[in-house]
Amino acid sequence: MADGGFTKLPGGSVVVALTLPRPLGDGGVRVLVHAANRQRALTRLRNLGLRAVYLRGNSAPPTPDEVTAVLHHPEGLVWRTAPDHGGELWHPIAALLRPPAPAS
């Protein structure tokens, strides 16, 4: 379902990157997860309600900048729109999963 990949870090943990359809809107998002292994990374996403998340292959592994971004985030789980159109900052995963604010 998702285009993505992973990078194994020197300490044994991994960073998994997935490009997914946006759960509450149009377009796609690039999600980065830091975890002990690939399965735990996918489990973290599934526990957040992204049930149909699978990693098949390593066609789009995280870039060095993406690895740095997720390692410096306290939760180890960030996203931004995909494809990136010029320097959008990374967002915590809670900002992706909350419903949009009603228009006034």
Amino acid identity of residue 102, one-letter, is P
- Per the structure, the count of domains in the chain is 1
Q: What is the tens place of the pLDDT at every residue in 22-66?
A: 766 677 889 999 999 999 999 998 998 887 788 888 999 999 999
Q: What global pTM score does this model have?
A: 0.84
Domain presence at residue 104 = no
Domain presence at residue 103 = no
Q: Which domain holds residue 21?
A: 3-97
The 3 state secondary structure assigned to 21-76 is ECCCCCCEEEEEEEECCHHHHHHHHHHCCCCCCCCCCCCCCCCHHHHHHHHCCCCC
Q: What is the tens place of the pLDDT at every residue in 59-86?
A: 999 999 999 999 999 999 999 887 777 7
